[in-house]
Chain A
């Protein structure tokens, strides 16, 4: 007959677990990195002659941010809140304005002929621009493109862009390309 073992006092296991918990709370970070993804243009080859990359003037909109965080889109000063609508008009050209980008009919795989804007957004900033203003403008540009993609996917597939599968998203990305160029650094509107 074995001896009956006395019950082990388990109240201290909670303390041990708390200790471990505190250790992990201290040494780890919540892992949710979010942000705006971008692809930088490759550095131009120094041996190559500066070829005039002639983009038709109507196909380009220049968004400038000066050192006082004021924004100039095209040729007029504008507020951040209006920027998105301006970019959307620029990228869709609803009235066939000869000053806005060409809507070129392009054969798109899986859809057929669609009009694709040739518009390019060129973003220029000053060395004195605050990062916050820069991100705000970048955000508005992305928002404009995202809304256009949503509209396009509603039209083509009857779903929001994010609800589409990978292939469909690729198709929509061809219909509404995100053409944001971060130009070579320039000093615009330097005041100091």
Chain B
């Protein structure tokens, strides 16, 4: 019995918390390196469909996004539940895509313009009609490199 009671008199040494900050900083750097700044606020709900053959986007800085989906719940009263197109930060129609593409193209450097990719992020329940319209408009502005966003899976 006395064996167990031996340590009772000793004081517990305080755990040094100085290294805790190092650990947290390490976490911080991990997230800083692996993530990127969120550029726009999502105003539409986008549940991306799954595709096993999806490949990584090569040049993330050269891509611009077109979000298509139903407006988020808080905006449904204003915009309804029909699928809408979101460019940058606001709801737009198909006709605005021309200006959007022109603006995006201008923001890229001269050499990279031909590699610009339009990323179509559409909800999986969206009907193809709206996407076909978008595609036709993109063809009209000769932004031909597109990508259908899809999750890797299965």
Residues of A within 8 A of B (CB): 10-11, 13-14, 16-18, 20-21, 24-25, 27-43, 65, 125-132, 134-136, 138-139, 142-143, 146, 182, 185
**Secondary structure class of chain A's binding surface, majority of residues:** mixed
Contacts of B128 in A (CB 8 A): 65, 125-131, 134
Which of A27, A42, A131, A146 contacts B122, CB < 8 Å? A131
Q: Complex formed: what's the CA distance from A135 to B21 in Å?
A: 46
Contact in complex: A136, B51 (CB < 8 Å): yes
Contacts of A29 in B (CB 8 A): 35-38
Which of the candidate stretches B4-12, B85-93, B100-108, B129-137 sits at the interface with the other chain? Answer: B129-137
Nearest B-chain residue to A7, judged by Cβ: B18
Contact in complex: A10, B31 (CB < 8 Å): no
Contact in complex: A24, B144 (CB < 8 Å): no
Known: A17-B25, A27-B37. A130 touches B150 (CB 8 A): no
Which of A16, A35, A41, A125 contacts B148, CB < 8 Å? A35
Q: Give chain B nearest CB distance to A42 CB in angstroms.
A: 6
Extra contacts besides A36-B150, A135-B150 (17): CB < 8 Å: A11-B20, A21-B31, A24-B31, A24-B35, A27-B37, A27-B38, A33-B56, A33-B149, A34-B149, A35-B54, A38-B147, A125-B132, A130-B126, A131-B123, A131-B127, A139-B51, A139-B150
**Secondary structure class of chain B's binding surface, majority of residues:** mixed
Whether B3 is near chain A, meaning CB under 8 Å from some CB there, is: no
Q: Complex formed: what's the CA distance from A140 to B87 in Å?
A: 29
Contact in complex: B17, A10 (CB < 8 Å): yes
Contact in complex: A21, B28 (CB < 8 Å): yes
Contact in complex: B34, A127 (CB < 8 Å): no
Which of A20, A27, A30, A33 contacts B57, CB < 8 Å? A33
Contact in complex: B124, A135 (CB < 8 Å): yes
Question: When A and B form their complex, which 6 residue pairs have the shortest distance between CB atoms, in order from nearest?
Answer: A127-B129, A28-B35, A13-B21, A17-B24, A132-B124, A139-B51
Contacts of B51 in A (CB 8 A): 35-36, 135-136, 138-139, 142
Q: Complex formed: what's the CA distance from A42 to B60 in Å?
A: 24
Whether B27 is near chain A, meaning CB under 8 Å from some CB there, is: yes
Whether B152 is near chain A, meaning CB under 8 Å from some CB there, is: yes
Which of B34, B140, B142 contacts A31, CB < 8 Å? B34
Contact in complex: A35, B119 (CB < 8 Å): yes
Whether B55 is near chain A, meaning CB under 8 Å from some CB there, is: yes
Contact in complex: B55, A30 (CB < 8 Å): no
Q: Give chain A nearest CB distance to B136 CB in angstroms.
A: 7
Known: A128-B127, A185-B136. A34 touches B31 (CB 8 A): no
Contacts of A40 in B (CB 8 A): 135, 138-139, 144-146
Nearest A-chain residue to B152, judged by Cβ: A34
Contact in complex: A36, B17 (CB < 8 Å): no
Max chain B C-beta neighbours (<10 A), residue from A37, A136, A138: A37
Which of A31, A39, A41, A138 contacts B36, CB < 8 Å? A31
Contact in complex: A20, B147 (CB < 8 Å): no
Contact in complex: B49, A132 (CB < 8 Å): yes
Contact in complex: B38, A36 (CB < 8 Å): no
Contact in complex: A32, B56 (CB < 8 Å): yes
